[in-house]
Amino acid sequence: MEGTGNLSGVFRIILQRLLLGLLTLLIVSIVIFVAVNLLPGDFAQAILGQGATPEAIASIRAGLGLDQPMYVRYFTWLAGAVQGDLGTSFAQANFASFAGTDAASGMSSVAQQIAPRFQNTMFLAGVTAAIAVPISITLGVLAALYRNSVFDRAANIFTLSSISSPEFFLAYILILLLAVLNPILPSLSSIYEGMGFGERLEKTLLPALTLTLVVTAHMMRMTRAAIINLLASPYIEMARLKGLSPLRVIVVHALPNALAPIINVIALNLAYLITGVVVVEVVFVYPGIGQLFVDSVKIRDIPVVQASCLIFAGAYILLNLLADIMSILSNPRLRHPK
């Protein structure tokens, strides 16, 4: 009975986290919609140019639904997003046929535009995670094992230097070193549909290495701090008294009990890999959702900008929820609260 009660308590906590995540996403969607629609400029004016007549601008705004009140447009957009319909792209519309016709007839689905770009961004995030997570945990374990040594100081200096540098600066340094002075990797990530895995991986390595330098420091330092915090525990002292090697003590006994904070920081950095790739994608001209977002902001394609922001927010909230839930499941004190 006690086990059943504890299990129901865990499910209740997880359900509360999920409901809180949905509420957060709803609030964020309101902020996104209001912020995007308050951006300066007018899409109809930008498309038609300075010589546009007021009648032509009014016709395009009516065709796109921009003449409706903001709250009406928000609830229409939210209802569509809940059903998987992210709207239609303004930029893909056939404006030559706007006079007296429905604007939506010549428009392209936002989901059709975003889907391949989001797949590319997820591929970049996956390659980066496959490189960064093992390196970060290994460096963290070694830094804890040899703390206050030359290796520990060097690892801290290197990771702090990389995290203190802007992404575009690291990107240009890597381009100079690995694409210009030593042409090992391509400087531009020209990804296209149907490209083989090996070639796609080669084109993605340079932006992935840039992101790896950015996220490694957080994960490495958290792993080091979590392990060092446990080294003074009685069970660690007992393991040492048994004659176990320092590496075995850390890997077998300390690391599993330090998983909760490590999982948290890994999930947060994975969220960054999806939501914070805009600068890196622009530098390497990587055809991901970040590059699409920047291009859409330039031409004020409101549906694409709103959908991109919503996807960024949803991915960040989802990964934070995942980190929270995994921390609960991996920590007995959270699974069995007193």
* DSSP result, 265-331: HHHHHHHHHHHS-HHHHHHTT--SHHHHHHHHHHHT-HHHHHHHHHHHHHHHHHHHHHHHHHHHHH-
Instruction: Kindly state the DSSP code that residue 52 receives in the 8-state scheme.
Output: -
The encoded tokens of residue 203 equal 């084109």
User: In order of start, what are the domains of the chain with their CATH numbers?
Assistant: 2-110 (no CATH), 120-300+308-335 (1.10.3720.10)
Residue with tokens 């090697």: 245
Identify the three-state secondary structure at position 196. Answer: coil
- Condensed to tens digits (0 to 9), the pLDDT of residues 54-98 reads 777 777 777 667 777 788 888 888 888 888 787 777 766 544 444
- Give yes or no for a contact between 187 and 180, defined as CB atoms under 8 angstroms apart: yes
- Condensed to tens digits (0 to 9), the pLDDT of residues 4-13 reads 555 666 778 7
- Condensed to tens digits (0 to 9), the pLDDT of residues 171-191 reads 899 999 988 888 888 888 888
- Condensed to tens digits (0 to 9), the pLDDT of residues 239-263 reads 777 777 777 877 777 777 777 778 7
Closest CA relative to residue 314, chosen from 17, 29, 20, 89:
29
Angle at which helices 150-164 and 197-230 cross, to 10°? 120
Burial status of residue 264 (CB atoms within 10 A of its CB: 0-12, 13-18, 19 or more): middle
The encoded tokens of residue 229 equal 């915090």
Other C-beta atoms lying within 10 Å of the C-beta of residue 234:
7
Lowest mean pLDDT among 17-21, 236-240, 280-284: 236-240
Other C-beta atoms lying within 10 Å of the C-beta of residue 48:
17
Distant-in-sequence, close-in-space partners of 141: CB < 8 Å, separation ≥ 6: 223, 224, 227, 250, 251, 255
Closest CA relative to residue 221, chosen from 266, 182, 254:
266
